[in-house]
Amino acid sequence: MPARRPSKTGEAFDVREAAKALGDLAVETLGQIMRGDGSDAAKLGAAREVLDRAYGKARAADEAAAEPVTVVIRRFGDDEAAD
């Protein structure tokens, strides 16, 4: 059954439909956070949300069966990137 609550006018309000209407804006906002000057934690959280929505959340069984992966993140300043 859809999530509904009464609106101020007395008509039924479908929360899921209202959220879906904002979906494009939400994904655009997450992209702006990922590309912005915010903290690494904010960028990682935004990236995780985008990936979860695009590919689904990883299941525990999949994670247990997967081999460990090492990720190395290096930051380069403008001077170092040109070298």
From 77, 14, 26, 73, select the one nearest 53 (Cα to Cα): 26
pTM above 0.85, yes or no: no
Who's near 3: CB < 8 A, 6+ residues apart? 14, 15, 16
Mean pLDDT on 17-41: 91
- Structure token pair of residue 52: 């979860």
Query: What's residue 82's pLDDT?
Result: 54
What is the torsional sign of CA 60, 62, 67, 68?
negative
Q: What rounded mean pLDDT belongs to the chain?
A: 79
Cβ distance 15 to 3 under 8 Å?
yes
- Structure token pair of residue 59: 């299941």
- Render pLDDT for 48-83 as a digit per residue (tens, 0 to 9): 888 888 888 876 665 556 677 788 888 887 665 555
Query: What's residue 42's pLDDT?
Result: 93
